[in-house]
Structure 1
């Protein structure tokens, strides 16, 4: 079957948009083909700075004929109903419909619609035009006198359709005066001439000759390999930066790796400053000495040109810009060092944190108090925690963080170290933002833990107080991330730290904990079951109880006890609904006439007592073992005893006994929340 090949050739597409744009093009076109009745065997999208391309293999030459039967209203129905039916079926009058008789429903109209298939070229022409006009760029522009919007001016559309053994047809498309053809263009400077294209294979081959590497992953591999080779040749290695590698591969169509240098005096600055400045301003990689791990005064740049001078002028230009940028960074560094962090704190009063929650200065005062209180609970130094909290946001008004906001916290640590602050305080200033993502480490030093928890809990309680909670997919203040941060800090450091939060906020933590545990393979219903028990705000104990409950339910004793529990609860609920009463309270021992009743009552008393002692001792495995003793007497009870006895007093007593099973399990978890 024929293949469809499409290229949209334009001015430079921002690197951050290319990969998504390629996938969007693939989805829009393939979804459109399927909606029009055209299947396909496979599709692959490509993106470079100047083009989006799509190859769709195995597309039929024509969509199939379609026969459709549409049922209409009854004969004699109101005119409005008939008009709606005719409009939906595409009929001019009811004479074009058939009348079908149904013995039960009577006579009604049926439209039998036959839609002839269409040529694939016709379908593709309309689909490509619609795709171009409605393409979902995050940002787009309009140029010239037309109405078309595109990320950058669109120059040409290449659209061919045909089998491998034939010369393909050019599908005629005209979008805002931009006609389609079978012409593309090579590298802007190295081979800018037109190239006639038939299909994907000759397209890629021709582009390669014209100094364009079409596949983004291949451009990444070229940059990575050539950069490593060039660095090793001078005894250095490239500092890994996958995000920058993705971006660099989207800036060039023909990657050429060059090595530049900068003045060694700049190495007196923190490595992160050098790396950030070079990366952000020039999209270059830094190099390090593999023997020492320290940065070298060299960098890797990725050019889009094979220059006749071997890249000397390009390298010199980049060196000049980097020298200027590092000079600026050095000025910021030296200026910031002259101002004690404590002197910056007063300036935080001028920065609004939130209109309803005050300034950053007011927030810092809250953090000082909260961090000291948390530190005392965790056995950390309260004075150091308060000091770290006071200075934690001070670098926000520094020159360096103003230029590079991503360095907040880290620069505060460097300034604190240089100004003689305690090591624990300096570490806490950097770490109090952590973790900021699932792969980020959590703070491990006691003072840092206290400040990090204070920072996140202040965020959560503050925004909860002003009713700015996450809704649906909206979470503008990253409160879900803050809650997950609290959870990870507590669990990974095995902290005993009751949250003492209001119920609504505690439920929010429970939801976040479900997400965390689900990613680790735990059952979310067990989280619900444990949180349903009163006063479950000690997350470490919650998780340990969940783990013990999961192991218990995986055993025969646990599975059978759960089944017995559900049977008991189902009977109770049915009787409570029928009578409008609840069967709470201890059963009357004088009415326990059968041995199975007596045995179950005795077993419940022992299990309840033993489980409570085990929970108090935080031995959750022992608590589960105590509940496991109920399995046999529960089974025997249901085998031997008729709960709904004729004697009302006996029936009520036995229902109270069933309620005792429910109450006994609540020592560990609410079994009604457990599935299965």
Structure 2
């Protein structure tokens, strides 16, 4: 096709539907536009400078492509057909087999003269080569539309009947019209029983008549000015955010921040086509209810934005409403929303006041009627296990075991409260309020409140020590119990949050070390294996599968490995975690190994260590102690002297938590190690010599691998800065 005759115009495709799922709308809009673009690009129907815009409102999905060709240019093709001896007869005619193949590929018009014979290195093959007419606009748009609809990430499909009363189709919501314009012209395509036209509908309430869209480039303006609908999801979101902040500033307040606010902003954007923000309020007496209850009610149930005092973050008695209507007098909208929210706030107040009449401690026994898991008993039995684990951890950390036990006793007591029954998201939070009202100790209240946090993110202090104990006990019980009955994470499925529990447990070790409750000099302090064994022992005999504690330990280390690999060299991480050291020592060991890996001795010692490991595996008997009298070669005597000298120095460094110093001390053995392997035959024919040399290497191996498995720090390491 001559480039001078190429015609390009903008293309618009819109599917008008019933209200689409709000939480999926933004993703649906982008996927629809991308699906159309992808197929048109594959068929070369897009100009090089073509841009794509996606639109999504509660009742429409649309895509605008700025430069689309009427006819794709001719395309060269090469089709490998079949061996020449099969495709052609003895007289050179097309065989029946080849004729069938050509017909299937739409090339039935070809003659033997049109085919090319080429060798693939083994035999002669027939090829069809040439040019074919490019795809036309209508065919390309139809294929693109079909693909875009079929590939939408639809949460749930519904089947509905078409207007003929006989046919039915499946889609996320019933579709009412299809618009397809190339420039000023309608593209004759169809989908979901609809024929494309140029009409669409505007706002459900503020625009009653159908809109005739003149062209793709007038779509947004016509929809906004005549249809009272903002087509772009991103533009609507920006409008709502701006209005929210303007209204909040005028009231000397803020809407808060965080993922909850962003998620709510996305959701209300998907619920309105013409956003207008109004201010509502409720009686100040409701502020006596814990703010979390009121905030959750307004955000979750009503899609309102609560307002907070900027200086203190304290909840106010006002909120912002994102309405789908712009009216001159919004009194009815505001009062209607206030009437709706008032009973919900009153319910929250009633639940809170009713719950407070029963002390939290008196609710514990009712947990006997709540099943935790049918293989693990009731919530009350679970509380008993957590209490035992908490007392054990508290004793190891120097915390008050009675306080830890009290926190564990009350931790789940709010599960049967009215407020948590209404808002399960408030587990722990409401328990803390009730515990505080019952005048429980401050550290017990904090422990109850923080038990469901994802991770600990601040160094543990005396005030938060009991909270850290409960946090760990709860996760240890969950990990061993749920894993032990076979509910291990698989792929993306992790319904009991074991991955999150493992990372939370790791964070507790890190923050206990940061707070000084675990010292890197104490390798035995609160070892994970000991805690998991203890936790497994709190369950009934035979309740858990054999080997549960060991499997969970490996799982936790694997989660830690994945977490650390984003920050440090993966080989350094693997070298440290291969020893499964005390979790609170991991960071210090990694820092030391990262420094060691940059030393000139590192590569040689890593290679030697790997060689030693392989030799030790070949030992045909138990490896004993070194006999100095059997050391005959100067190099082996020198190595024995080096090990004897460096072993106690290395141990002293380790005992002092100086992992960098321990590795540097061990590195002093490099020359002796190199000389040994150059001059000494380890696997000597004499059994006594061989056994003694293996014993020497075993002692060296123990000295070398006290901080990490040095053999994993090879010369190919891409050594990242561990700082």
For the superposition of Structure 1 and Structure 2, which TM-score range results when normalised by the shorter chain?
Answer: 0.7 to 0.9
Partner residue in 2 for 1:304: 324
Q: 2:172 aligns with which of 129, 151, 155?
A: 151
**Is residue 392 of structure 2 the alignment partner of residue 392 of structure 1?**
no
Residues 252-274 of structure 1: CA deviation (Å, up to 9, x unaligned) = 11111111111111111111111
Partner residue in 1 for 2:706: 667
Q: 1:476 aligns with which of 477, 492, 495?
A: 495
Structure 1's 442 and 614: CA in aligned 2 closer, same or farther, altered over 3 A? closer
Q: 2:104 aligns with which of 84, 90, 93?
A: 90
Residues 105-135 of structure 1: CA deviation (Å, up to 9, x unaligned) = 4x55534366733224312212203432553
More divergent stretch after superposition (288-297 vs 311-320): 288-297
**Structure 2 spans left out of the alignment, 5+ residues:** 1-7, 88-95, 519-524, 533-548, 717-723
- Whether the 8 Å CA contact 2:367–2:378 is kept in 1: the answer is yes
**Is residue 416 of structure 2 the alignment partner of residue 409 of structure 1?**
no
Q: What is the CA-CA distance between 1:319 and the residue it aligns to?
A: 0.7
Partner residue in 2 for 1:164: none
Partner residue in 2 for 1:498: 527
- Whether the 8 Å CA contact 1:212–1:253 is kept in 2: the answer is yes
Q: What is the TM-score when the length of structure 2 is the normalising length? A: 0.81
Q: What is the CA-CA distance between 1:358 and the residue it aligns to?
A: 1.3
In 2, distance between residues paired with 1:62 and 1:510? 56
Structure 1's 74 and 488: CA in aligned 2 closer, same or farther, altered over 3 A? farther
Q: What is the CA-CA distance between 1:585 and the residue it aligns to?
A: 5.6
**Is residue 204 of structure 2 the alignment partner of residue 194 of structure 1?**
no
More divergent stretch after superposition (475-484 vs 343-352): 343-352
**Is residue 385 of structure 2 the alignment partner of residue 366 of structure 1?**
yes
In 2, distance between residues paired with 1:443 and 1:144? 62
**Is residue 53 of structure 2 the alignment partner of residue 14 of structure 1?**
no
Residues 526-565 of structure 1: CA deviation (Å, up to 9, x unaligned) = 33322333xx352011332122112211233334432444
Tell me the C-alpha RMSD between the 2 structures: 3.5
In 1, distance between residues paired with 2:623 and 2:24? 63
Partner residue in 1 for 2:521: none
Q: 1:641 aligns with which of 676, 679, 682?
A: 679
**SS of aligned partner of 2:601:** helix
In 2, distance between residues paired with 1:582 and 1:98? 72
Residues 51-76 of structure 1: CA deviation (Å, up to 9, x unaligned) = 22223445554165242342646957
Q: 1:466 aligns with which of 485, 491, 512?
A: 485
**SS of aligned partner of 1:24:** helix
Partner residue in 1 for 2:662: 623
In 2, distance between residues paired with 1:510 and 1:59? 54
Q: 1:543 aligns with which of 587, 592, 608?
A: 587
In 2, distance between residues paired with 1:373 and 1:583? 38
**Is residue 245 of structure 2 the alignment partner of residue 228 of structure 1?**
yes
Q: What is the CA-CA distance between 1:200 and the residue it aligns to?
A: 4.9
- Whether the 8 Å CA contact 2:35–2:151 is kept in 1: the answer is no
Q: 2:572 aligns with which of 506, 526, 541?
A: 526
Q: What is the CA-CA distance between 1:602 and the residue it aligns to?
A: 2.7
Structure 1's 26 and 176: CA in aligned 2 closer, same or farther, altered over 3 A? closer
What aligned pairs does 1:413-432 form with structure 2 within 5 A after superposition?
413-432=432-451
**SS of aligned partner of 1:556:** coil
In 2, distance between residues paired with 1:98 and 1:171? 37
In 1, distance between residues paired with 2:504 and 2:554? 16
In 2, distance between residues paired with 1:441 and 1:488? 9
What aligned pairs does 1:507-522 form with structure 2 within 5 A after superposition?
507-519=554-566, 521-522=567-568
In 1, distance between residues paired with 2:11 and 2:433? 57
In 1, distance between residues paired with 2:465 and 2:147? 59
Structure 1's 447 and 177: CA in aligned 2 closer, same or farther, altered over 3 A? same
